[in-house]
Chains A and B, each alone.
Chain A
Amino acid sequence: MAEDFEPKIVVFACNWCTYTGADLAGTSRQEYPPNVRVIRLMCSGRADPVFLIKALVNGADGVFVGGCHPGDCHYTKGNYYARRRINALQKILEQFGLAERTRLQWLSASEGPQFAQAMTKMTEDIKKLGPNPLKEALV
Chain B
Amino acid sequence: MKGVQLGEEALDNLFKSLLAEGIVDVLIIPQKIGENVAYTMVSDPEKLKSPAIFTPIFTVNAANVLKHMPAEKKIGVVFKPCETKAAIELVKLEQFEKDSVLMITVGCPGTYKLEDYNKHADEIGDKLDDSKIEQLKAAGCEIRPACKICEDKLLETGDVLIDRTDGNILVAAISEMGEEALTVIGEIELTDIDTSALESKRSAIIESAKPFREEWKTASEELRDLDKFLEVFKDCIVCKNCRDMCPVCYCKTCFFEQPLGKPEGVDLLNIVGLRGSIKVPSDSLLFQLTRMYHDCFTCVHCGACADACPKEIPLTNIFPWISEKVKELFEYKSGRDVEETLPLLTYQEDELQPRE
- Using a CB–CB distance below 8 Å, which chain A residues touch chain B? 49-50, 53-54, 57-59, 69-71, 77, 80-81, 83-85, 87-89, 91-98, 104-106, 133-134, 137-139
Contact = CB atoms under 8 A, between A and B. Distances in A.
A84 B293 contact: no
Contacts of B356: 69-70, 106
**Taking chain A's interface residues, is the majority helix, strand, or loop, or is none over half, making it mixed?**
helix
B139 interface: no
Q: 6 nearest interchain CB pairs?
A: A80-B347, A138-B279, A139-B285, A53-B289, A57-B286, A91-B326
Contacts of B348: 80
B326 A97 contact: no
Nearest to A87: B352
Interface of B: 223-227, 229-230, 255, 274-275, 277-279, 282-286, 289-290, 292-293, 296-297, 321-322, 325-326, 329-330, 343-344, 347-349, 351-356
A134 B347 contact: no
A83 B352 CA distance: 7
B279 to A, nearest CB: 4
Contacts, number: 100
Given A88-B343, A104-B353, 12 more contacts: A77-B347, A81-B344, A83-B354, A85-B344, A91-B296, A92-B292, A96-B223, A96-B224, A96-B229, A97-B225, A97-B226, A106-B356
B278 A139 contact: yes
A92 B343 contact: no
Given A81-B344, A92-B322, A96-B226, A53 B297 contact: no
Contact of A89 (B255, B293, B351): B293
A57 B285 contact: yes
Contacts of B347: 77, 80-81, 83-84
Contacts of B344: 81, 84-85, 88
A88 B278 contact: no
28 contacts: A53-B286, A53-B293, A54-B286, A57-B283, A57-B289, A69-B356, A70-B356, A83-B353, A84-B330, A84-B347, A84-B352, A87-B353, A88-B326, A88-B329, A91-B322, A92-B292, A94-B325, A95-B224, A96-B225, A96-B226, A97-B224, A97-B226, A98-B226, A137-B230, A138-B277, A138-B278, A139-B282, A139-B285
